[in-house]
Structure 1
Amino acid sequence: MQASVHTYDLDERTGEVLLDSGRVLPFPASAMEANGLRHLRVGQRVSIEVADDADPEDVGAHVSRVWIVGIGEGERIR
């Protein structure tokens, strides 16, 4: 699924993404670290994975992984 970066805190490495539906979902630093990303910019298009394969529209849904298409191709860094 794709989304746009809505907010990003460089120090904490956390933020929020905006789905095409208008829903905002938070992401923790671990979602960035899963693919080795170091920085995002507001407005940037990213691919996301929602924790526990939950419906992203459900209350309490949050992002478990963030990646940029073409950078790591979404493969988890181990």
Structure 2
Amino acid sequence: MQASVHSFDLDRRCGQVLLDTGRLVPFDAEVFDGSGLRHLRLGQRVSIDVEGDPEAADARLARLWIVGIGPGEVIR
């Protein structure tokens, strides 16, 4: 699944992504730290895995990455 970065706090290493459905889903520092990324910019497209139903009120990101960046990612 893909989403757009809606907010990102570099000091706290957390933020929110905006799903294509318009739903905001938060992510914490642990998810960002596992991404292998150093920074995110607003509007940037990212690939995500969501725990549970992405449309549920308690949805949270399990994984965040950009294809081709990070361990095991191949640029296509």
Normalised TM-score (structure 1): 0.86
Does the aligned pair in 2 maintain the 1:30–1:65 contact within 8 Å? no
Q: CA RMSD in A?
A: 1.3
Runs (4+) of structure 1 moved beyond 2 Å? Answer: none
Gaps of 5+ in 2: none
Consecutive unaligned residues in structure 1, runs of 5 or more: none
How many angstroms apart in 2 are the aligned matches of 1:29 and 1:13?
A: 5
Matched residues, percent identical? 62
Q: How does 1:1-78 map to 2 (within 5 A)?
A: 1-51=1-51, 54-72=52-70, 73=73
Counterpart Cα distance in 1 of 2:63 and 2:38: 13
The alignment partner of 1:32 has SS state of helix
TM-score by length of 2: 0.88
Count of matched residue positions in the alignment of Structure 1 and Structure 2: 72
Deviations 1:18-70 (A, max 9, x none): 0000000000011111122111000000001112xx11001101112110111
